Amino acid sequence: MDLGEINPVLLVASLMVAATPLLLAAIGELVVEKAGVLNLGVEGMMIVGAISGFAISVETGSPWLGFIAAAIGGAVLSLLFVLLTQVALANQVASGLALTLFGLGFSALLGQSYVGIKPPSMGDIHIPLISDIPVIGPILFQHDPILYVGIALTAAVWATLKYTRVGLILRAVGENHDAAHALGYKVIKIRIMAILFGGACAGLGGAYISLIRVPQWTEGMTAGVGWIALALVVFASWKPWRALLGAYLFGGITVLQLNLQAAGVAIPVEYLAMSPYIITILVLVILSADKSSAPASLGRTFHASH
C-alpha cells in the first residue's frame, strides 16, 4: 500500500470526467422539477441519448453531430412524457418509470448493430500557455469541450433561475401553478419547454458516457447514473451549484475508490464500491439542513379548470 502513488492532479482531472454525465442529467432534471414536474425517466432519456449520439457520430464521423443528435434524442423521448403527463394528464411517477423502462429497451434495439464499434474521438482542447501551467493546467484546461459545456450550463441555469424574468416565471409555475395561471402564464407550455430541456440535457449526459468516457456502446451502459442524478437534485435542494458539488463528490469518490484499490489499500472492495453513494448522500443531507424545500407544485398535475 502506497498512497503516494495516487497523483492528486490526475485524480481531480479524471473525477471531473466521471462527474460530467451525472452533472448534465442533474441540471436538466433540476430545471424540470423547478417547473413543478417530476420526471423519473432520466435514466431512459440518458440511454436513448447515449445510443442516438453514438449511432450518429459513427455514421457521420463527427462527435459534434453526435452530441446534437443525443440532445434531440433525449428531447424526443421526453416528448412522450409530455404527451402522457401534460396532455393526457397521466400520473407523473408512473409515466416517468415507464419512460425509463421503455428507453432501456428501445436503446438496446437501436444499438443492436453498434456493439463493439469504435466511435470517432472528440479530442481535448489544448489552449496554449494556460494548459501548460503546472497543477491548474491539467485540472482546468485540458478537457474535452462537453465538460466545459456542463459547467457553463450549471452557471447559466443558476443565473437564469436567480436573476431573470424567465427564471422567475419558471419558479412561479413550479411553486404554485394555479397562481401562475391566474396571472396569465401558460403553465402547460412552460412545463413542456422545461421537460424538453431536461430531456436534451439527459441525452447529452448519456452521449458523454458512450462517446467520451468509455467510449463504446453497450446495452444498459448508463448503469443507474440517471437515478443518481434524480437523487442528487433532491439532496442538492434544487440548487445548481450544489448539484455540481454533489456530482463532483460522487465522481470523485468513484475514481478515488479505484485508485485506492490499485494502490493496494486493504479495505474490502465491496466497501469501496458502495462508498460513493453513502458519502454523497451524507454530505448533501447535511448541506440540505437549511430547510430549503421542494417546489410546492412538484409532481402535481395541472389543469386550467381546477
Partner 1 sequence: MKFTSLLTSAAMALGLATGAMAEDKTKVGFVYVGPVGDGGWTYEHNKGRLAVEEEFGDKVETVFVESVPEGPDAERVMTQMALEGADLIFTTSFGYMDPTINVAKKFPDVKFEHATGYKTAPNVSVYSARFYEGRAVQGHIAGKMTKSNIIGYIGSYPIPEVIRGINSAYLHAKAVNPDVEFKIVWAYTWFDPAKEADAATVLIEQGADVILQHTDSTAPQAAAQEAGNVVTFGQASDMSEYAPFPRVSSIIDDWAPYYIARTKAVMDGTWESANTWDGIREGMVAIGEISDAVPADVKEEALALKAAMAAGEYHPFTGPIKKQDGSDWLADGETADDGTLAGMNFYVEGLEGEIPQ
CA dihedral (264, 267, 270, 276) positive or negative: negative
Which of residues 73 and 215 has its CB atom nearest to partner 1 in the complex? 215
Q: How far is the CB of 18 from partner 1 (least distance, A)?
A: 7
Residue 119 C-beta: closest distance to partner 1, Å: 9
**Which residues, numbered 120-139, are part of the site for partner 1 (CB under 8 A)?**
121
Q: Exposed, middle or buried by CB within 10 Å (0-12, 13-18, 19+), for 303?
A: exposed
Residue ranges in 199-238 that form contacts with partner 1 under rule CB under 8 A:
209, 213-216, 218-219, 221, 223
C-alpha–C-alpha distance, residues 43 and 203, integer Å: 9
* 262 scored as a contact of partner 1 (CB under 8 A): yes
How many residues sit close enough to partner 1 to count as binding (CB under 8 A)?
33
Which ranges constitute the DSSP H helices of 37-176? 42-60, 63-82, 92-110, 136-140, 145-163, 165-175
Q: What's the closest the beta carbon of residue 145 comes to partner 1, in angstroms?
A: 16
Asked if 116 is part of the footprint of partner 1 (rule: CB under 8 A), the reply reads yes
CA angle 150, 154, 158 (to 5 degrees): 165
Q: 225-235 vs 240-262: helix axis angle to the nearest 10?
A: 130
Cβ 285 to partner 1 shortest distance, Å: 26
- Cα of 220 vs its chain's centroid, Å: 16
Contact between 60 and partner 1 per CB under 8 A: no
Note whether 53 binds partner 1 by CB under 8 A. Answer: no
Tell me the C-alpha distance between 207 and 66, whole Å: 8
Asked if 296 touches partner 1 (CB under 8 A), the answer is no
Q: How many CB atoms lie within 10 A of CB 220?
A: 14
- Rounded distance between C-alpha atoms, residue 169 and residue 22, angstroms: 26
Q: Does 156 bind partner 1 (CB under 8 A)?
A: no
**Residue 72 makes contact with partner 1 by CB under 8 A:** no
261 near partner 1, judged by CB under 8 A = yes
What does the binding site for partner 1 look like in residue numbers (CB under 8 A)? 5-7, 10-11, 14, 18, 115-118, 121, 209, 213-216, 218-219, 221, 223, 254-255, 258-259, 261-264, 266, 268-269, 273
